[in-house]
Structure 1
Amino acid sequence: MSKRVTTQVSAGEIAQQYKYIEILRDYNQKRVSDAGKPVKYNIETFGCQMNENDSERLSGMLSEMGYSESAKRAESDLIIFNTCCVRENAEQKVYGHLGALKKLKENNPELVIAICGCMMQQPEVVEHIKKVYRHVDIVFGTHNLYKFPELLNTAVESRQTVIDVWDSTGSIAENMPITRKDNLKAWVTVMYGCNNFCSYCIVPYVRGRERSRSMEDIKNEVVRLAMEGCKEITLLGQNVNSYGKDLEGGYTFAGLLRELNTVDGIERIRFMTSHPKDLSDELIYAMRDCEKVCEHLHLPVQAGSTRILDEMNRRYTKEQYLELVEKIKTHIPGIALSTDIIVGFPGETEEDFSETLDIVAKARFDMAYTFLYSKRTGTPAAKNPDQVSEEVKKERFDRLLALQNSISREINDELLGKEAEVLVEGLSKSSKTTYTGRTRENKIVNFKGSPELTGKLVKIKIDTIQTWSLLGKLI
């Protein structure tokens, strides 16, 4: 079987989208002139950082079309929901918000409502929206985001519902506009999709197979970010360790890190998410050797029981995971580890759960994102008849949280009196004099500062440990 090679959307197709952007810009300029007020858009993003980055791309297109961003739905001329389907509660939130938009549409028939993202890759969801939420104007998925200008233009011209969801794509669209939410830190997507098919996860079905961007395009984006004053980048992918496997030329994620480490102006490099089965020695050495790559690794374990890991199709054992953690800590002393853990996977026994508590105690994660198992239609785990009750799941969840919180506190307590390098992000949301930033290990630090420190690397002496953050003084 020959290797599947990722291709790029043609320059002609991208140029076509810019023509639609121009048409809509002219249309909006007339609207502004006639109404004497700006046309506004509102985007609500559900889910992961990949969705956040996709929303930045939608914002970039809309800005080029002459829209201004608004935080208020009621004053917007265009509302977009960028959806997530990893957990059921995210889907239910979207439906609730969609229902609330019906009144806005009745009061303003010119309002355009669009819904996109992972939920739309599920045919039953699209059918439900068509039947129940007829006030929605545009429905599109994860694979044709770059075609949004064309879809919007069609909806505006026809005043008909536009539905355009692709089953899959092997192409990547480059050179579309983007508006960053943050001038200091930026998401940079390096690959899309996933080939792992963990038995609980819907992502491969809605995001498609793995597709890597070219190293040249990624580096060019990072160089532009550096020139615009960005100091920190976070490289995104469903499994960044698989980067380059679909490209000709033997590219690897470790090689990408080493290349981006040479970009002047970028101070810090982070990445997520890493699959333990693919975390190579080469990557560990690159993290160790590249001075801009931060000492923080998000390494989802999902469960501590080898039996459950096998049921999850994770393709590593508890012992292999702990050996990997030991290797990482040996080569990168002081590294902070975070993880994801699912509680109550189908068939999980009390003995299985005790293995999860054991791996948490041994790995000593700085932070764990813990979730109750959520059944996702279309995944193998959803068909497992041995579902764990909500009561048992919640009781186990509380025990896991208590253990992890105590470990997190113990690790943070060791920082008392120590000095830390902090990238200053700006004012804390809760104060007009307290500034906030993160250490290389991704710890939040608050301190008294001044505006000119924003964007700078400063030394802070930690003098107070709090549950989720640290307090300190400028040195």
Structure 2
Amino acid sequence: MHEPRKLYVKSFGCQMNVYDSHRMADTLAREGFVETQDPAQADLVILNTCHIREKAAEKVYSELGRLRKAKQEAGSDTMIAVAGCVAQAEGAEIMRRAPVVDLVVGPQSYHRLPELLAQARAGKRVVDTEFPVEDKFDHLPAPSRAATRARGPAAFVTVQEGCDKFCTFCVVPYTRGAEVSRPVAKILDEATRLVDQGVREITLIGQNVNAFHGEGPDGQDWSLARLMQRLAQVNGLARLRYTTSHPRDMGDDLIAAHRDLPQLMPYLHLPVQSGSDRILAAMNRRHRREDFFAIIERMRAARPDMALSSDFIVGFPGETDADFEDTLELVRRTGFASAYSFKYSPRPGTPAAEHDDQVPEAVKTERLAELQRLLEASKAAFDASCRGRTFDILLEKPGRQVGQLIGRSPYLQSVVVNDPPAAIGDLLTVTITDVGPNSLAGVPVASDPASPARSRPLAAMEA
């Protein structure tokens, strides 16, 4: 009996890449591959890449250098594949810069991995970065029950891919293509199967997820809000989330869904990128800062416990001190529970890369540090406001100490609980008793908060 072949997949970047990595593993499971967490043991290594930022692409080349050295030292015949958006954008360049790579496959073609690997095994270095006519989702196998359970009680489901917005800094329209939405029936089938296998929370993902317009069973295009209304009826599905959204697609029905669907978590990731109208126009974002504030006001009116996350880019070409101050003011005015912030990095082929008013690197570094201090203070204030609050957490994994479990709050915070009367996959109602830099501590509402075993300081619990 042959030993199963080992597969190691490393994901870079967004949640969609995590989802894609899972689906690649599911596809290759039918070919006899078993996942490993040790690349040294792997017969096949796949780097599933992100091309949004310059450093993300360079990380891939650094990783390939390490793999090449390890392969040479071990004398192994491990095959190496590069997938995802860097593969889509730089297929030929990868082959030129990294001779160790056997296969390059774009994000729309990974359902063809078995046949592409067969070509690579035959000695041909393969590049497949076409946008195929067929829908890859029609060719992807469902994950096994064991694979779903191993990934935990929270899962991603891709509902939409691509983007038609053409922000001047972004490569997504070029690497993922035009906006395409999956049919509602196929999404429902995937979600129902995941729930039957033990998933309790589903995050709907897409490059521009709130632009979803998939064909419904009635032959009409359904909005994201209507899709979630139907998903909320799936028996056993306790929680719904979605990411990433664009301010221009926050329709009235989506805001109403936050008011009307208990399963939809009160947490919205809505990238704004800048607080300056002048920079937003240069980015081709097609919304103004007041549009963003209006959405937030309506969202909080519909769901008073709503918390917000966002993305920011500092040092976009032409950004002045006054523009940057507008961004800081937007952060102060909004109050974010979490946020991601980056220095602008020119991406080849995007309009902004051609601007001649690039901001000096030292200025970008200084602005990013100032913005991140403000965002970290905002996050700390939100976390502190949760002390004494009671809410449900979804228990997801063991903690560092015996008897501990870690769950996620409605706001995606890690919550540590000692000896909970529940198991992984359960929803547990807790009161937050302590707040640390990386997680919260909670006690089940039926527990006695004064119990020494249940009120250890969070610092000790995280040690």
Is this a same-fold pair by TM over 0.5?
yes
Residue of structure 1 in register with 2:101 after alignment: 136
Whole-Å Cα distance in 1 between the matches of residues 419 and 394 of structure 2?
A: 12
Q: CA RMSD in A?
A: 1.8
Residue of structure 2 in register with 1:4 after alignment: none
Displacement of 1:391 in angstroms is 1.2
DSSP-derived class of the 1:453 partner? coil
Residue of structure 1 in register with 2:135 after alignment: 171
Note the 1:398-437 alignment, pairs <5 A: 398-428=369-399, 430-437=400-407
Residue of structure 2 in register with 1:449 after alignment: 419
Residue of structure 1 in register with 2:239 after alignment: 268
Q: CA offsets, 1:18-73, max 9 Å, x none?
A: xxxxxxxxxxxxxx53xxx4321111111111111111011111211111211112
Displacement of 1:167 in angstroms is 4.8
Note the 1:158-197 alignment, pairs <5 A: 158-167=122-131, 171-177=135-141, 178=143, 179-180=147-148, 182-197=151-166
Displacement of 1:409 in angstroms is 2.0
Residue 377 of structure 1, aligned match among 348, 355, 372: 348
DSSP-derived class of the 2:119 partner? helix
Residue of structure 2 in register with 1:219 after alignment: 188
Displacement of 1:333 in angstroms is 0.8
- 1:45 counterpart letter in structure 2: S
Note the 1:31-430 alignment, pairs <5 A: 33=2, 37-106=3-72, 107-108=74-75, 110-122=77-89, 125-156=90-121, 158-167=122-131, 171-177=135-141, 178=143, 179-180=147-148, 182-244=151-213, 249-428=220-399, 430=400
Displacement of 1:184 in angstroms is 0.6
Say if 1:416 and 1:462, in contact at 8 Å, map to a contact too: yes
Whole-Å Cα distance in 1 between the matches of residues 97 and 174 of structure 2?
A: 24
Residue of structure 1 in register with 2:441 after alignment: 471
Q: CA offsets, 1:378-403, max 9 Å, x none?
A: 11111111111121112111211222
Whole-Å Cα distance in 2 between the matches of residues 459 and 73 of structure 1?
A: 39
Say if 2:109 and 2:136, in contact at 8 Å, map to a contact too: no
Query: What's the TM-score once normalised by structure 2's chain length?
Result: 0.90
Q: CA offsets, 1:140-162, max 9 Å, x none?
A: 11111111111112222x22212
Q: What are the ranges of 5 or more consecutive residues in structure 2 without an aligned counterpart?
A: 446-463
Say if 2:215 and 2:221, in contact at 8 Å, map to a contact too: no
* % identical equivalent positions: 39
Query: What's the TM-score once normalised by structure 1's chain length?
Result: 0.88
Whole-Å Cα distance in 2 between the matches of residues 472 and 451 of structure 1?
A: 13
Say if 2:182 and 2:215, in contact at 8 Å, map to a contact too: no
- 2:167 counterpart letter in structure 1: C
Q: CA offsets, 1:381-428, max 9 Å, x none?
A: 111111111211121112112222222222222222221211111212
CA pair 152-412 structure 1, distance change in 2 beyond 3 A: same
CA pair 131-416 structure 1, distance change in 2 beyond 3 A: closer
Say if 2:428 and 2:444, in contact at 8 Å, map to a contact too: yes
